């Protein structure tokens, strides 16, 4: 490890009550019986890596981490590397968040709860394969607000079948969350919703995102990353480290790491993950080291995700001179005061802009 050590620690909890119709994440419904074995494996994997110095943030994601019961939550935190984290985030779904779990999270030192609402319309939720109602989501939020002095973040998806996103957004803002994430529906082949023949309306999706940007700003949340809005002081420090190309370690099935210039990912097969860790072997599935222009390009596309953009040094600006000029000509990026930022148009065509910074590059660039 570098002398500075990683800045973030991510822990993946791959269990869930059922697969949502749009979900392509590494998650395993009906495997709750593996939770005790998995928690022990997380501790064993951390030991295989050795001490993790100077970790500033801890993020527990999934899957659905709140599928763990209160006692299992306490065990999870007891087994993880101990440290004085500046931020501890825990993802939860409304159907599995109750007073006992909230009390366990408070005792564990959680500072930030990320609640997966996706919609606040019962019909839309059923079509999306969600396992909670709109009222259950509101109840979970109120319990969380009363249950601890932490930041509360909500997730919404725009573009779900039959969705009135304007109404969903109004209902979410009425709860006055500290942080709001709005994601456009991105369907992957093989998910139930994709197999059903549903095709997201890109034009309608853009209208929804434009509505979100304007209405959330009017509610006092700052747009600080393409999909994320926060009250001042409630930004996700863990994710800001990602977008700043900082270091982090990932523990668990399918977890990713970025350390000492190497990007790596654990196996996404739950059984294989458990077998390897229990045999004293790191469960590595893939790794790579970016260098030269590819590494610079990664820094550029990650930094452009933030509304503040990224600072341009002479090397980054020079290596991608043709790309910067082309993006400016197309109205996707602006450069001013030594910084590059996506324009408003660029926010909606971000993937087009990002493709300029991914190898293979044009020979004459």
Q: What is the pLDDT of residue 260?
A: 86
Distance (Å, rounded) from C-alpha 190 to C-alpha 102?
35
Q: What are the extents of the domains in the chain?
A: 8-242, 292-357
Distance (Å, rounded) from C-alpha 105 to C-alpha 72?
11
Nearest to 90 by CA among 56, 106, 142: 106
Distance (Å, rounded) from C-alpha 225 to C-alpha 302?
10
CATH number of this structure's domain 292-357: 1.10.10
Distance (Å, rounded) from C-alpha 242 to C-alpha 249?
11
Is the torsion defined by CA of 175, 177, 180, 186 positive or negative? negative
Token pair listed for 248: 């982090």
Distance (Å, rounded) from C-alpha 69 to C-alpha 108?
13
SS3 109: coil
Q: What is the pLDDT of residue 203?
A: 87
**One fold for 8-242 and 292-357:** no
End-to-end C-alpha distance for the chain, whole angstroms: 34
DSSP E strand stretches across the chain: 8-13, 15-16, 28-29, 57-62, 87-92, 112-118, 151-158, 179-184, 222-225, 228-230, 248-251, 256-259, 262-266, 284-289, 310-311, 333-336, 339-342
Distance (Å, rounded) from C-alpha 57 to C-alpha 275?
28
Distance (Å, rounded) from C-alpha 55 to C-alpha 358?
29
Distance (Å, rounded) from C-alpha 203 to C-alpha 284?
40
The partner residues of 334 in beta bridges, in order of sequence, read 341
> Residue 12, Cα to own-chain centre: how many angstroms?
11
Q: Summarize pLDDT for 283-324 with one digit per residue, the tens.
A: 999 999 999 999 999 999 999 999 999 999 999 999 999 999
Q: Summarize pLDDT for 146-198 with one digit per residue, the tens.
A: 998 999 999 999 999 999 999 999 999 999 999 999 999 988 999 999 999 99
Return left, alpha or beta for 176; rule: phi > 0 is left, psi -120 to 50 is alpha, else beta. left
DSSP string, 187-224: --TTSHHHHTT----HHHHHHHHHHHHHHHHHTT-EEE
Number of H helices, E strands in the chain: 15, 17
Q: Which letter does DSSP use for residue 43 in this model?
A: H
Nearest to 106 by CA among 141, 138, 145: 145
Q: In this structure, how many other beta carbons lie within 10 angstroms of the beta carbon of residue 282?
A: 12
Q: Which residue has the tokens 């396992």?
A: 131
Tens of each residue's pLDDT in the chain, 365 residues: 334 445 899 999 999 999 999 998 999 999 999 999 999 999 999 999 988 768 999 999 999 999 999 999 999 999 999 888 999 999 999 999 999 999 999 999 999 999 999 999 999 999 999 999 999 999 999 999 999 899 999 999 999 999 999 999 999 999 999 999 999 998 899 999 999 999 988 888 889 999 999 999 999 999 999 999 999 999 999 999 999 999 999 999 999 999 988 999 999 999 999 999 999 999 999 999 999 999 999 999 999 999 999 999 999 999 999 999 999 999 999 999 999 999 999 999 999 999 999 988 765 43
Q: Which residue has the tokens 């020979």?
A: 363
Q: Which residue has the tokens 């959680």?
A: 110
Distance (Å, rounded) from C-alpha 273 to C-alpha 330?
45
Helices in 18-121 by DSSP H: which ranges? Answer: 35-49, 70-79, 99-108
CATH number of this structure's domain 8-242: 3.20.20.70
């Amino acid at each position: 490890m570098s002398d500075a050590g990683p800045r973030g620690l991510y822990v993946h909890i791959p269990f869930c009550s059922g697969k949502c119709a749009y979900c392509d994440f590494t998650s395993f419904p009906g495997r709750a019986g593996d939770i005790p074995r998995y928690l022990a494996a997380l501790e064993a994997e951390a030991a295989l890596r050795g001490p993790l110095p100077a970790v500033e943030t801890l993020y527990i994601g999934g899957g659905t981490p709140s599928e763990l019961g209160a006692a299992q939550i306490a065990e999870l935190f007891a087994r993880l590397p101990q440290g004085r984290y500046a931020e501890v985030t825990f993802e939860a779904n409304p159907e599995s968040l109750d007073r006992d779990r909230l009390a366990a999270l408070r005792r564990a030192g959680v500072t930030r709860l990320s609640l997966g609402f996706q919609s606040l319309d019962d019909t839309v939720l059923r079509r999306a394969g969600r396992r909670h109602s709109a009222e259950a989501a509101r109840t979970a939020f109120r319990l969380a607000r009363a249950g601890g002095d932490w930041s509360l973040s909500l997730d919404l998806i725009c573009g779900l079948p039959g969705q009135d996103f304007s109404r969903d957004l109004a209902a979410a803002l009425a709860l006055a969350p500290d942080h709001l994430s709005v994601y456009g529906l991105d369907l992957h082949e093989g998910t139930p919703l994709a197999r059903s023949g549903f095709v997201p309306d890109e034009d309608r999706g853009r209208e929804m995102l434009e509505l979100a940007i304007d209405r959330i700003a009017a509610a006092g949340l700052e747009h600080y990353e393409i999909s994320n809005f926060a009250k001042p002081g409630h930004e996700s420090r863990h994710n800001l480290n990602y977008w700043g190309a900082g270091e982090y370690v990932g523990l668990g099935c399918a977890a990713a790491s970025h350390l000492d210039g190497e990007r790596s990912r654990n196996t996404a097969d739950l059984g294989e993950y458990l077998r390897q860790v229990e045999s004293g072997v790191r469960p590595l599935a893939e790794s790579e080291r970016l260098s030269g222009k590819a590494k610079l390009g990664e820094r550029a596309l990650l930094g452009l995700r933030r509304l503040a953009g990224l600072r341009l040094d002479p090397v980054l600006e020079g290596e991608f001179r043709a790309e910067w000029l082309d993006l400016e000509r197309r109205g996707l990026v602006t450069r001013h005061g030594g910084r590059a930022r996506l324009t408003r148009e660029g926010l909606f065509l971000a993937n087009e802009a990002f493709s300029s910074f991914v190898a293979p590059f044009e020979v004459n660039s």
